[in-house]
Chain A
Amino acid sequence: MINPVFVPTGVLFAGALLEIVLGGVLSRAAKGWLAFLATAIALTAVLAMMPDVIHGQVLTATLFNWDAGISLTYHVDGLSILFMLIGTGMGSAILLYAVGYMAEEEEGTTRFYVLMLVFIGGLVILVCSANLLMAYFAWELIGLCSYFLVGFWYKREEAVDGARKVLIITHLAGYGLLAAIMLLYVRTGTFLWTDPAVGAAFSGAIILLMIVAAMAKSVMYPLHTWIPEAMNAPTPVSALLHSACYVKAGVFLIARMYSIGPWHGVFGNLLLLVGCLTMLVGSIFAIAQTDLKRLLAFSTVSQLGYIVTGLALGTNLGIAAGLFYAASHALFKGTLFMCAGAVQEATGTRDMRKLGGLSARMPVTSRVWLVAAAAIVGVPLTNGFVAKWLLFDAALEANQAVVVVVAWAVSIITTFYFFKATLSVFYGMPAHDLRVEEIHEVAPTMQIGLGITGALCVVFGFAPQLVMQPVIEPAVHALGFDWQVQVTWLGVLTGSGTIGVTVGAAAVVVVAALFGVGAYRLVRAPAGHPVSVFTGGDPLPEGDTLGAADFAEMAEAAFEPVYSLDPDPLYLLIWRGIKDAAAGVRRFATAGLERQPFLTAMVCAAALFAGVWLL
C-alpha cells in the first residue's frame, strides 16, 4: 500500500506524466482541469496528514533509493505541512484560474501544465525531504521549472531575458546551498539533516552559504533583481512564483535552518538588517513603477523583507509572525497577481498609464483586488493586518525598535503605492485609448480562482485562529520554538504587549488612511477644477490631471539616492570583468600558445619534465 506521505508528490508527478501522455488528445481546457484536479487531490492529501502533525507527530518514510546509498526520505513535520499547504493550496487556485487564462494560448499548453505540476511537486519534495542532497535536487528542480515557465513565450525577447536572469542569479546563489551541503557531509558523513551530527556541525560558513542561497530565492536585497524581469511570464506563473512555490522556498530554507541546528546570533542580526533593507528598497522601487506586474514584483520584494525579518528575530513570536506572514502573503499576493492578469487579459495592457475606470467593467476583479490590496497594506479584518500586528508585536517584544519603525514606514509606502495602483487601474476616468466598451469580466474559472484566495484573505483576517492553531503552531513547534501567540476573532492579539501594539497598529492604519486620501486627491483631482500646482499664474489645462506617471516621476525624484542602490550595474560590471578575462585568455591562447602549437607543446612538455623531476 502507498504510504500517504507520498500521495501529494505522487499525484502531482502522475498528473504531469498524464499531461505528457494525453497532451496530444486533450483540449486546452481539459489539460487545465487535469492539472487542477491533480493539485486539488494533492491538497486534500496534505489536509489528510494534518491531524497527525497537529498532535505532534512527525511522519517519516522512504520513497525509493535515488542513487547508490541516497534515498528520498521524507520527514513531514509542521513546517512541511505549512509549506505544502501553501504550495498545493495556492497551486490549486492558480491552476483553476489558468484554465481560463490559458484557453486562448495557441501552443505550449502541455508544456505549461507539466512544468506547473512539477514546480509544485518540486516544492513538496523540498519541504518534506530529510535528505539535504535531495532537498538541493528539488531546490534546483523548482529553479529550472521557473526558468522554463518565465521563458514560456520563448520567441519573445523580453520573456527569455527575464528567464535568463532567473537562471543565473538563483542558480549561482544555489551553489551556496550545494557547497554548504558538501561541507556538512564531509564533516558528518550524512546528508540527513535530522541526524544530530549535522546539527553539531552546523556553523560558520555553512550557515552563511545557506543564507546566501535563501536570499536569492526569496528576493532579498541585493539578490532580488531577477524578480521584476520575470514579469513577462504568463500570469499564473507570476502568481505561483511570487506567492507559493519559488520565493517561499528561500523562506522555507531560512525557517528549516532552525530545525537543523542553532544558528541565530550574528547571522540573525545580519538577516534582520537584510530584511529591513529589503523591505525599504522593495517598497521604494515599487512606487516608481508604471507596469502593474512590476509594481507587484517589487512589492513582493518588500513583503518578503517582512517575512524574513520575522524569522530573523529568532523569538517565539517572531517565528510565528514570519510563518503566518508567509502564509498570508501567499494568499494576498497570489490574488493580486491573478487580478493583474485578469486586467491584462481584459485590456491587453498592464501599463497603469493606459488604464483606469475598470471597476465598472470588471466589478468582481476590482472588488477582489480591493480586498487583497487591503490585506497587503494591513487593513484590519484581513489576514495582512494580523500578520503585521504579530510582526510589530514580535519586534517590540524583542526590543527591536528600529525594525518597528522601518516596518511602519514601509507600511505607509505600501499604502501609497497600492492606492496609486488601485486608483490608476480601477477608478477615475479611463485612459484615452482604452476601448472601455470592449472590456468585460474575465472567464468564470479565473474569477473563481482569484475569488477563493481573495475570500480567504478576509476569512483568515476575521478568524486567524483557523490557521494559527492547526497550521502555524505545529510549524513553530517543528522549529523548536514555543507557541506564545494568543489571538481572538478579528485577529486581535490578547497576549504580550497588547497596548503598545494596539496603539501602534491603530496609528499605522490612521496614518496610512490619511496618506491614502492625500494620494487619491493628487492622483485624480476632479476634472475641470484647477489643480493647485503653481505654473506661473495659470492653472493646468483642463483635463490635465496628475496620474500614475506623474507619481512615478515624483517618486523617482524624491528617492533618487535610493534608486542608485540598484545592484544590477554591479552585476554588469562583474560580467564585463569575466568577459574581459576570457577575452584576455583567448588573446594569450591564440597569439601565444596556438600560433606555434608544436613548439608550445614541446616547451610545455619540457617544463613538465622539469617540474616532475624536481618533485
Chain B
Amino acid sequence: MELIFIGFFAALACGIGLYAVSVPQDGRVWWWLAAAIVGLVIASKLIGDSGTGAIFLDLAELAAVALVWSHGTPEAAAAARKYLYSIIPAIACTLIAGSLVGTGAEVPGPALQKLVVCLLIVGFALKLGLIPFYFWLPAVASAAPAMTTALIVSVVDIATFGELAALREVSPWVFGEYAQVWMVIALLSMFGGALLALAQTELKRMLAFSTINDMGFLLLGLIIGGPAGFAGASLGALNHALSKVILFGAVGFAERQIGRTVTLDTSGLAARLPLAGAAFIVGALVFIGVPPGFGFVAYWRIYIAATQFGGPTLITALLVVAALDLLCYARAIHRTWLGPAQVPVTGAPAYLAPGVLACLAVMAVLLGCYPSILTGAAASGLLAMAQ
C-alpha cells in the first residue's frame, strides 16, 4: 500500500508541477518548498512507520506553513500563523504521545493509555483540520493560492492520514476502547464539514470544508477497521488526494483567468474555460463517490463497513452526509461553471494547466471503471493490515 501511495504522490507531484509551469505560483521559493514537501513526504513513506518517518512528515508540515507564508500577502501571513499555531501543538502532542509509549505495540497502563489517546486525538485532529480543531484549513484555503492548498490537503494531509492508518495497525488499542471518541470526531467532521461547506459562497473555502467532511469519512473507515473499513479509508485517501488536486486546480486556473476570486456568483465559467470546467465537474462527482468515478470504489467499502458496524442507523447517517455533499457540489457546479457566461476572461489562453487537470480527471474515471489495477495489487497488503 505504501508503494501505491508513493506512486500516487509522485504522479500528483508531476501533475502539480506541470500545472505550475502553466499557472505561475509564488516564484522560485514556491517551487523549492513544494519540492521539499513532496520529497519529505515520499521520504517519510519510504522510511516507513519509524520515528524518523514521522519527523520527516512533521518537517513537511512546517514546509507547508512556509509555503503558505511565501504567498506574501497579509492574509496569507495571518493564515500561515494560524496554521503554524495549530501544527506546533499538533507535532508536540504526537511526539509526546510517541515518546510515552515507544513503538506503541505494547498496551500501556490505563492512565497512560488515556493520556496518550487524548494527545493523539488532539494532535491528529489539529493536523488534519478535523472539527472542532479545523481553524487553519479554511483560512489557508482562502488566503493561499489554490494549488498551495491542494498540495497541503492532497499530499501533506493524506500522508498524515497514512501515519494515522499506520498507527491503527501498530497500536490498535488506541482505537479499540476509544472508538466512541474517535467516532464523535469523525461524525462531527462529516456533518459539520458538509453543512459548513454548504454555507460557503467562496469556492476555495467550500472545498476546504468539504476536505474536513471527507476526512471524517476516511477516519470513520479507519476506526471501524476490518477489510472493508481499512481498504475504504486507504482508497478514499487516494481519491481525496487526486480529486482535490483537480478541484483546487480548476478553481485556481479560473481565478487566474478571470482575475478574481471564484464564488457562487461567478456563473458560466465553463463557457469560457470548457476544459477546466469539465475537470471540475468530473472531479467533484468523483470526489463525492458517484459511479463510475474512483471515489465510489472507496465509498462502497466505507458504507459496507459502516453497515456492519452501526447497522441501518449509521449507513443512513452516512448517506445523509453524502446527500449534503451532492447538494453542495451540484450547487457549486451549476452556479459557478454552467449556464451563460457572465464573467469576462482576461488571462492569456493556457492549455497545459487545464490539460493536466483533464488528464487527472480521466485517470480518476478510469480508476473507477477498473479499480482492480489498484485494489488487486493492494488487496493482499490491505488484508494483512486488517488482520
Mark A residues whose CB is within 8 Å of B: 64-69, 133, 136-137, 140-141, 144, 151, 154-157, 160-161, 163-164, 167-168, 171-172, 175, 178-179, 182-183, 185-186, 205, 575, 578-579, 581-583, 585-586, 589, 593-594, 597-598, 600-601, 604-605, 608-609, 611-613, 615
Contact = CB atoms under 8 A, between A and B. Distances in A.
Contacts of A64: 370, 372
Of all A-B residue pairs in the complex, the 5 with the closest CB atoms, nearest first, are: A586-B199, A597-B135, A582-B199, A582-B198, A160-B338
A151 B198 contact: no
Given A179-B316, A582-B195, A585-B199, A597 B117 contact: no
B181 A611 contact: yes
Contacts of A179: 303, 312, 315-316, 319
B82 interface: yes
Nearest to A161: B334
Interface string B306-342: 0110001001100100111011001001100011110
B37 interface: no
Interface stretch (B41-49, B150-158, B245-253, B285-293): B285-293
Given A68-B379, A136-B291, A613-B114, A178 B319 contact: yes
Nearest to B368: A137
Contacts of A172: 323, 326
A186 B307 contact: yes
B270 A154 contact: yes
14 contacts: A67-B375, A68-B375, A68-B376, A156-B339, A156-B340, A157-B339, A175-B323, A185-B304, A185-B307, A586-B200, A600-B135, A604-B133, A611-B181, A612-B114
A65 B327 contact: no
Contact of B370 (A66, A69, A613): A66
Contacts of B334: 160-161, 164
Given A65-B376, A578-B198, A612 B178 contact: yes
A182 B304 contact: yes
Interface string B265-276: 000101100000
A182 B307 contact: yes
A178 B303 contact: yes
A182 B303 contact: yes
Interface string B170-210: 00000001101100000000001001101110000000000
B76 interface: no
B164 to A, nearest CB: 16
A578 B181 contact: no
A175 B199 contact: no
A613 B177 CA distance: 12
Contacts of A615: 114, 177-178, 180-181
A167 B312 CA distance: 24
B181 A589 contact: no
B316 to A, nearest CB: 7
Contact of B135 (A133, A183, A205, A601): A601
Interface stretch (B2-10, B64-72, B100-108, B118-126): B118-126
Nearest to A597: B135
A597 B82 contact: yes
Interface string B81-95: 010011001000000
Nearest to A108: B274
A319 to B, nearest CB: 30
A68 B372 contact: yes
Interface of A is mostly: helix
B24 interface: no
B371 A66 contact: yes
A593 B212 CA distance: 15
A579 B327 CA distance: 10
A156 B324 CA distance: 26
A579 B195 CA distance: 8
Nearest to A13: B369
Given A144-B291, A164-B330, A582-B196, 15 more contacts: A67-B372, A136-B291, A137-B292, A140-B296, A160-B339, A175-B319, A179-B319, A205-B312, A578-B327, A585-B196, A604-B132, A605-B118, A612-B178, A615-B177, A615-B180
B297 interface: yes
B300 interface: yes
A503 B280 CA distance: 60
A245 to B, nearest CB: 16
A612 B133 contact: no
Nearest to A144: B290
Given A175-B322, A597-B82, A155 B341 contact: yes
A67 to B, nearest CB: 5
A183 B297 contact: no
Contacts of A66: 370-372
A18 B316 CA distance: 41
B307 to A, nearest CB: 4
Interface in B369-383: 370-372, 375-376, 378-379
A604 B125 CA distance: 11
B199 A183 contact: no
Contact of A168 (B135, B192, B307, B326): B326
Nearest to A607: B132
A171 to B, nearest CB: 6
A183 B118 contact: no
A171 B122 contact: no
Contacts of A67: 297, 371-372, 375
A475 to B, nearest CB: 26
Nearest to B303: A182
A137 B368 CA distance: 10
Contact of B195 (A183, A585, A609): A585
B23 to A, nearest CB: 24
Interface centre among A133, A137, A601 (most CB of B within 10 A): A601
A574 B296 CA distance: 26
Contacts of A581: 195
A155 B268 contact: yes
Contacts of A589: 192, 196
Contacts of A178: 300, 303, 319
A120 to B, nearest CB: 15
Contacts of B375: 67-68
Contacts of B200: 586
A79 B319 CA distance: 30
B181 A151 contact: no
A613 B268 CA distance: 53
B330 A157 contact: no
Nearest to A206: B312
B324 A585 contact: no
A609 B180 CA distance: 13
A179 B114 CA distance: 36
A370 to B, nearest CB: 38
A179 B316 CA distance: 8
A492 B177 CA distance: 71
A161 B268 CA distance: 12
